[in-house]
Amino acid sequence: MNYFSSNFKLGILGGGQLGKMLLYNTRKFDIYTSVLEASNEAPCKIACDEFHLGDLMDYDAVYNFGKQVDVLTIEIENVNIKALEALEKEGVKVYPASKTLRTIQNKATQKLFYIDNHLPTAPFSRFAYTSEIKEAINHGGLTMPFVWKCAQFGYDGTGVKIVKTIDDLEGLPNVECIAENLVPFKNELAVIVARNASGNVKTYPVVEMEFHPEANQVEYVICPARIPEAVAKKAEEVALKTSEAYNHVGLLAVEMFQTQNDDILINEVAPRPHNSGHQTIEASYTSQFEQHIRAILNLPLGRTDSKVGGVMVNLVGAEGYSGDVVYENIETIMNMDGVTPHIYGKKQTRPFRKMGHVTIVNEDLAEARKIAEAVKKTIKVISK
């Protein structure tokens, strides 16, 4: 199949920043792209060859869009699965496959998948409605603290809450959910696994994620993770086993906990480019976005090792600001060594909205982490 400077058409469901960064690479390879997205303001709009407006959860919108492309991929999991199943039956290549997405879309079925495949994960209980949790606590079937997660459509800190007292349940949506044992972990780690249709597999180095205590969003991604070799090896093995169980094509980001005894437990997965791989653009031989394109088109996979130590800082909207975005002090951080900002192209900011990220590269990881802290303190995402 000739993908380059040809009539081949790659379809992307979702027009956000992940799609935009995928499009850097389709531009590089001159692969024709078509994007479906519900918002006319989407970051992808400026970079794709064709832009279609449509709801990703709407059967007809996804099906009709998919009929016009040769290979269909995603940059967000919340898409209409039935439409993908119909397209697969008609011979459209869909990566990741509808079967993988169906399992991953729902956190309860995702957790059951780990149990069924003997993959390590924290114990949990499943509830049809949040209101059933109080009863389970009162009857001793559930003890606090635990982590409440809505089963569907949670992302970036929404749909997740640590429940320490019964009052913490107040105000939570009454939806299908899970209550997961609170894991006292040393580190949150992630490994991105790339797999192409021929079954060739490569992993990126283990990264460590530092979280914002209130927003439940990643503040820093540090690559490589500052952990013993044996723990890194264990994390990589768990990620590879997970990838094999899903038998996915494309990228699979496996987020994990390193427990106090150095066991590895799977938290959750994302079958697409992921926040834990943004530093690969500057720090790796092959960025996660290029690798995703290589994997879904069954091209040879690129080198996954790092050229240099990298730390990634998320740029999120400052609290108390909503409206037309201003990146305050961006010139100051660009004056720092090894600092590259990525601005996603969202014109409107609001508190904790992901607006961009900054990569800091340095031969000395401790120095990169120090500069990352300075970046975090300096740049502010505010409004006019």
Report the share of the chain in percent with pLDDT over 70: 99
**pLDDT at residue 313 in the model:** 97
Is position 187 annotated in a ligand binding site?
Answer: no
Is position 180 annotated in a ligand binding site?
Answer: yes
Q: Which domains does the chain have, with CATH numbers?
A: 9-94 (3.40.50.20), 123-181 (3.30.1490.20), 185-383 (3.30.470.20)
The pLDDT tens digits for 4-17 are 999 999 999 999 99
Residue 156 has pLDDT above 70, yes or no: no
Is position 182 annotated in a ligand binding site?
Answer: yes
Q: How confident is the model at residue 155 (pLDDT cuts 50, 70, 90)?
A: low
**pLDDT at residue 44 in the model:** 97
Is position 149 annotated in a ligand binding site?
Answer: yes
Average pLDDT over residues 306-328: 97
Is position 339 annotated in a ligand binding site?
Answer: no
Are 28 and 22 in contact, with CB atoms under 8 Å apart? Answer: no
The pLDDT tens digits for 121-131 are 999 999 999 99
The whole-angstrom separation of Cα 356 and Cα 344 is 5
The pLDDT tens digits for 336-377 are 999 999 999 999 999 999 999 999 999 999 999 999 999 999
Average pLDDT, the chain: 96
Q: Which two tokens stand for residue 222?
A: 């540090």
**pLDDT at residue 157 in the model:** 63
Residues pairing with 3 in the sheet:
none
The pLDDT tens digits for 28-82 are 999 999 999 999 999 999 999 999 999 999 999 999 999 999 999 999 999 999 9
Residue 249 has pLDDT above 90, yes or no: yes
**pLDDT at residue 215 in the model:** 67
Is position 188 annotated in a ligand binding site?
Answer: yes
Encode burial over 289-312: b for 16+ CB neighbours within 10 A, e otherwise. Answer: bbbbbbbbbbbebbebebebbbbb
Is position 111 annotated in a ligand binding site?
Answer: no
Report the share of the chain in percent with pLDDT over 90: 94
Encode burial over 81-115: b for 16+ CB neighbours within 10 A, e otherwise. Answer: bebbbbbbeeebbbbbbbbbbebbbbbbebbbbbe
The pLDDT tens digits for 78-105 are 999 999 999 999 999 999 999 999 999 9
What's the Cα-to-Cα distance from 284 to each of 160, 306, 341, rounded to whole Å? 31, 4, 16
The pLDDT tens digits for 167-213 are 999 999 999 999 999 999 999 999 999 999 999 999 999 999 988 77
CA angle 186, 188, 194 (to 5 degrees): 140
- Determine the straight-line distance between the first and last CA of the chain, rounded to whole angstroms: 49
Pairing of strands 339-343, 354-362: antiparallel
**pLDDT at residue 218 in the model:** 80
